[in-house]
Structures are given as structure tokens and as C-alpha cells.
Amino acid sequence: MQSTLIDYPSGFFFSLGIGPEDDTMFMHDPFKFDYAQDKIPLGQDNLQMVNEDSAISTNSTTVHNSTAPDDSASLSLNRATSANFNIHNSTAPDDSASFSLPSERGMSRAIRIQSSLDILRTGRISPVEFLTELLDVTNPRSAQFRGKLYSKTNKRVDDLLDKIVEDPMGEALIEDWFRRYGLRKRDSVSSISCGKENILPGTGLGNAQYYRLALEDFAEFRIHILVRRKHDLWTSKVSVFLFGTSNNVTRGASFLPPADNRSLMAFISQNLLTASIMVRLSSYAALLSGFASSMAAGIPTRRAMAVHDERELPVHFANAGTPSPDTLMNLKLALTASDMAGLEQTFWDVSTPGNALYGQHLSFEETKVFAAPTTDTVTAVTAWLNENGINNITTTGAFDDWLAFTVPISTANSLFEADFQNFTEIGGPTQLIRTLSYSLPVDLQQHINLLHPSTDFVRNIKGPIFRASVPGSSLNNTARALTAPSSCNSVVTPTCLQDLYGIPTTPATQASSKLAVSGFIDQWPQTADLKTFLGALRTDISSATTFTLQTLDGGSDPQAARDAGIEANLDIQYTVGVATGVPITFISVGEDNTDGIDGFLDIMNNINAQTAPPFVLTTSYGFDEPDLTSAMANQLCNAYMTSGTRGVSILFASGDGGVSGSQSQSCSTFIPTFPSGCPFLTSVGATQDVTETSASFSSGGFSNIFARPSYQTTPVATYLTALGSTNSGKFSTTGRAFPDVAAQGVNVEIVDGGSAGLVDGTSCASPIFASVIALINDRLVAAGKSPLGFLNPFLYANPTAFFDITTGDNPGCNTNGFPAKAGWDPVTGLGTPNFASLLAAAGV
């Protein structure tokens, strides 16, 4: 076997290589980092490194004109004398050191880093300088990227890249690596996993972090820097090998490295190489064991990690740069429920008419049995956080199912193998700190649903469309003029709704039959506006009728005229003004959260934690479904399901973008909205005019995350058959379909800031339909029955209790969208409510 001579038989070297981790590892030009000024006395013993498991190939390759047909990589220190060796001197006796390189496997040609040993031998660049610059220039986030590789020889990195891209596979690798993903870290069985702030400039690795030294039989220490492609893992490696026997080797040892390249190299050299001066190589195993044990004291072992969630950057966001590593992030881990499957089965049982358990909603304590995490889950996740120095942990959530903590971004990147960046909405105001992927320990994957915030890109939520003042009238004479149903084509009032849907004016009597309204983005209802509204448009009830305020996340409800909120006033005026006598609560969510998703989560945690939650919750906000990951969508959807088991009816406006969501008309496929795509709630679309046709903006369609629930099987199949090939390929034919129902949503009159005006949107329809359900619940409770709870199985079982809407469509994405048809359709759902029919179907 022909060997490359190594002029530093100290038993310690670095090796660089590129290759698929599970297939081939290429070693190139080992060179010594000698902390003792290139001079180390050598003992009289013989050591040999065995082959590198599956990383060693069986084929041969040429490296420095030396072939290595052997299938193992070995370094032999053959009874070398205690001579001093200089790295810049290439002469050495043949029996002092030999090295055989592993060859490629599974690839047509080697993707290899060009030789550097000759450059090192010239004396014009030191090993430390070489490694430092290599790490800098091979990272796309480094300021030195594609700069000079060997500054002292005036050799540019392009020369190196040219060698790599000679092979087509290498070219694809470099393109994917350098242009798209950058360096991302992953553990392997024997790796030093990297973390917090920058330790190696340009690499995204960090200082003040733990390195796991997993000692294999041949006592290998390796730093892995991995690059992930769509289907393959490629690895750029900087490997540290320490040779010795495996006897008494302590596994899982760790140490805390210094903060820069040269200090790191010196640290490793000082702690390993100089120790060999004092200890004969025959005692090296004992030295190694002692080193590992001493370094492990008080420092945790890095666990094997696996990607938990990842995504592409949404088209409407752009990277705005790297945030300061000291920026603090409020993070939360959602823990898995002890029996989510059991909770869902109970949900269907208590929500499906005809089931023996229908209407037998659970108490908080009964729900907690299913929804709370197990003690093992809480203990395991908390222990992992503690291991990594995170002790400021707060348990939150309705069932203590969230762990919240605050850490610098550098710590978050290290802990979750993430790359948190600043992102800005293109053409919009939203600014976020997010990552495109994160990892969790393999042994904790089953205990954690998600990390938040992480991979969700939710834009700032928007309010309804505020169109115009009521033409040619003052508020004082509008009420009388608008009582006639014919007026409702141009202005919709509570009286119009009572006439259209048969909504009673008789006040509710049951204090437990409460209705709650979600409020976000500094939207505050004004008591003065409500008084004016009731005094003009509901003269049959006291104008002093008001609502209860509940605040979350620093929410408030200032009452200055300048603080009036259109959405909040709309929601309150069309619940207080339609659900006569029903106790109304406005839940004001402040800005003390990470984004709109936090508010959604916090409202549900609050409601699910209540002993006596409201029977109805209406929300006039939502997102494009693609903005959320499926993990977050499922987390929220399960929260709505949990409320359903408690007897709460959850209603959401379907959205105001037709089939395009909030996207432009240029979208190539339809954009479903969320939470409307969740099968555990009721989505409300919009209609217009007295004869009722669909509002053109009414969002509807099919979820790409959630499958179609059984209660929709027949009506949706009927619609799709009637639709035929229209818009084929632009939507999922198997997803949960929405909306479920509809109500008036155009020319709805409100009072805002003391003035009358008209608003459009499904934001109008949701509180109107919620008021209908609240009044039915009041009658049910008065009759000694349970509230309706989750509505959809009941609604779809009674399609004749609706006014079917058969005209109109919801354009978007340069199409006419979906047409309304007889029966259910993805514009108006089952139709608009017939109060008397629904009440009768409910058994009252």
C-alpha cells in the first residue's frame, strides 16, 4: 500500500472533506496543530486507527498521486523516536508515520477539496490560518465568503470551487449549499455539536456552548457542519482525530471551548497535545479517560437531534438580515397531550346528534385528564432545558401544557439548531424574527408538539372594510327609515336581520348563556358608540345595555373618541344589538405577544381554563393557511376541539379575499384561510341584499392541511360533482371545505367615533350568526338542555333549517372562484339561518 508521509507523528491531526455523510467521507491532507511550537516529544509506542465504520469505502482513489486500495484508514506510529518534528519540513523516516486515505463510494468521481498540504509546507501560511480562512470563505454568511482562501499565497477560493464543480454532482452541491441553505448543524453519533454565539467566524457556530465529545472505539473527536438539501444530507467536515485504545474511555464527555478560531485551536492543542509530553503513549488511554472525565464535570451531554419542522420562505416575506445574538426571544414549547386521540373521540361523541353522549359536555377537570401532558413529558422536557442552562421556565396554558422561557437568539440557535433571522413582509408592515427550520432531541420528539415562535410567518391581521357614511341621513332619522325590509338592500341594521332571519327580540334570560367576542390589534369598542347605536337602531331595549371587558396580554379598552375601533364596534354592536339580553364579553388582546397567533393561543388557553366558559366565541380575524405550519394549525385546531368538548361553539369569519385569501390576483392556486379550514369550528361566509346572493369577497374553499370531516362527506361530494372540471387543479378536492354557513356582510351600519357608517366583510357575518346561536343556547338552557357546543354535525344534519343561497361566486386568482349552487357551496356554506327552524331542530 502506497502511503502519504506525514511529518508530524504526534497522533493528532485535522482532516477536511466533503461527501454524503451516510456514504463517503473524504479525508484530505491531514495537518498538525501543534500548540507547542511544532515540537512534541514522541513516545516509543505504536498506535493505529481502525477504519471509520461506514464512512470508509471499498473503492480506490488517487490522492496526491498515492493510491489507497485498502478499505481502512490508518495512522501508524511505528516506534518513532523522541525526535522533534517541524510541520514545515516534509522529510520524515518512512517508519515514523503512514496514512492511507479512504476512497469514494457511490459516486462517479470524487468531489474533493484540492490539496493544501503543499501550501502548508511552503511556510507561507500556518495551519491555524488555513483552517480559519477555509471556514470563513466556505460559509455564504461570512463577510469573507468567496474571498481569498490563502491570503499569504494570493490563491483565491474560486480555484478551490472550480475543482469541486468539475463533477456535476459537486456543482449541484455547491449551488444548493452556497446559494440556498448555508451551513446548518446536525448531530451524528460521534460529533461535536455546535451552538450559541460565534466561535468560528463566518460559520454560524457559537461560543459559550457545549461540545459533545462522543468517543468511539478509536476515540474520535469530530466537528460536523452539515448542509441539508431536499432529499440528501451533505456534510462539510472539520474532523479532529485523537488516537488511543478504547479501554476505559468515558463516553459523552463535554467541554466549553473559547470564543475564536485561534483560541479554539490552541485550546484543543493545549489540552490534548501538550498532555502527551507528560504521558507516554502507552498510557494514553488513561490520559484520555481522565481528560474526558474532567471536562465533563458539570457540563451536559449534547443529545442526538432531528429536524422537527422546516419550511420554505413564504413568497410575501424577505430576509432582512441577522438580528443581534443578544436579542431576547420569548419562546414556548407546546407539550403533547396525554391522550389527544381520546379527547377527539369524546369531542365527536358529545357533538354528534344521535350519539348517546350528545350534549354531555365535559368539565374542566374531565377535559384535563385528556389534554394535560403526562408527568413524564413535563419532567423530560424540563430536564433538557435545565441541562442547557435554562432555568427561568414558566408553565402556562389551560392544562399546564406550555413551557415558556426567555433566551438570547444565540442560545435559541444553539439549542434548537436553528437560524433565527429578521424577516419583513414585502410591501407590508409585518416584521418577524423567524427560522426556516429547527430541531429537537430525538428522545423528546414525542413529548413536544412545536416551538413558538419559529417557522410560522403570520402577517398582521386586518380589520373589515369601512366603506362610507350612510348617504343623506342623520343617525336620528335613520332608524325609522330603515325599519322597512326594502331598505335593507342598501343599509343593513339589526331590524333587517330580525326580519330576514326571524331573530326574536325577546330578551334572553339565562346568565350562563354567554357570548364572547375576540378583539385584537388595538381594536376597542366604545360604550358611547354602543349607546348611540342602540338608541337609534334598537329602541326597544335600553341604550345603557353594555358588555363586560376581559383583557389578555396587556389588553385594554380606552374610551377616547380617537380610540374607537371599527372592528370592535362592529362586533359589539351586532352581538349586543342582535343577541338581545345575552351577556356579552369583549376579550381585548393587547400587543404583549409575539404576533397574532399568540393572541389566538392565549384566548383559547383562557377559555379552556375557565370553569364556566362562554357558550359561544366569535372571531372576525384570520390568516392565510400557508402562513402557518401544519404543526401550529393543528395546535390551534386542537384547542378549538378542546373547547367543543366543554360545550363552546367556536365561530370564525371565513375571510374577505374570495378564493385568493389575502394574496393578489396573480396566485396560481386558491389560497384557503385559517382557522376556517379547521374541522372543529364553524366558518361563516357573507351574503348581500334582501334576496341574498353571495358576497363576492366571501372566502371559501378547501384546506390543504385538514382532511374533510365525515359531516361534510355527502354535501361536499354533491357540490364537487356539480362543479365538474371548473378550476381543476387549483384546490384540494379532499380537504376540509368551508365556509359552513353565512349571514349578511355588505352595507352593515355601525356607529364609530360618533358617526354612522357602512362596513363590508365576513367580519359582519360572524357576530350575526354567533348571536343567533347564543339565543338558541339561551332557549335550550332555559328548557333544561345542554348548549349546542360544536355546531357542525348539528348544522349539516339539518340543511333545511337554512335559506339556501344559489347565486353569486367568490372571484380570485384571476378566476371567478367557486359558484354558489343549490345545497352546500364554498361561498355561503349551507346558507343563512332560519332561527325558528334551527330552534326546532335543536329540540325547543
Radius of gyration (Cα) for the chain, nearest Å? 34
Q: How many CB atoms lie within 10 A of CB 725?
A: 6
Q: How many CB atoms lie within 10 A of CB 512?
A: 12
Q: Is 104 a catalytic residue?
A: no
* Cα gap 160→171, rounded to integer Å: 12
Largest distance between two CA atoms of the chain: 110
Q: Determine the 3-state secondary structure of 632 from DSSP.
A: helix
Residue-by-residue DSSP string for 22-89: TT----EEEE---TTTT-----S---B----GGGS-SS--EETTEE--SSS--EE--S--S----TT-
Q: Are 200 and 137 in contact (CB under 8 A)?
A: no
Three cell numbers at 807?
A: 347565486
Given 763, 771, 778, 809, the catalytic residue: 763
Helical H segments across 542-676, by residue range? 566-576, 596-609, 630-646
Three cell numbers at 528?
A: 358611547
Q: Is 263 a catalytic residue?
A: no
Q: Are 131 and 203 in contact (CB under 8 A)?
A: no
376 annotated as belonging to a binding site for a ligand: no
Q: How far is Cα of residue 249 from the mean position of the Cα atoms in its chain? A: 40
Q: Are 221 and 195 in contact (CB under 8 A)?
A: no
Q: Determine the 3-state secondary structure of 109 from DSSP.
A: coil
Given 309, 567, 602, 624, the catalytic residue: 567
Q: Is 571 a catalytic residue?
A: yes
Cis before residue 739, ω within 30 degrees of 0? yes
823 annotated as belonging to a binding site for a ligand: yes
State the sign of the Cα–Cα–Cα–Cα dihedral 460, 464, 465, 471.
Answer: negative
Q: Measuring CA to CA, how many Å separate 428 from each of 460, 620, 710?
A: 9, 20, 39
805 annotated as belonging to a binding site for a ligand: yes
Q: How many CB atoms lie within 10 A of CB 495?
A: 22
Given 7, 104, 529, 571, the catalytic residue: 571
Three cell numbers at 495?
A: 331590524
Quick one: which H or E segment has residue 434?
strand 431-434
Which long-range contacts link 121-127 to residues 24+ away (Cβ below 8 Å)?
121/87, 121/88, 121/89, 121/90, 122/88, 122/153, 123/88, 124/150, 124/152, 124/153, 125/150, 125/151, 125/152, 125/153, 127/14, 127/31, 127/32, 127/33, 127/87, 127/265
**Residues 157-187: b if buried by 16+ CB within 10 A, e if exposed:** beebbebbbebebbeebbebbbeebbbbbbb
Q: Measuring CA to CA, how many Å separate 181 from each of 140, 424, 435, 436?
A: 9, 19, 12, 10
Inter-helix orientation angle 630-646/364-371, to 10°: 150
Binding residues: 804-805, 823, 825
Binding residues for Ca(2+): 804-805, 823, 825
Q: Which residues are catalytic?
A: 567, 571, 763
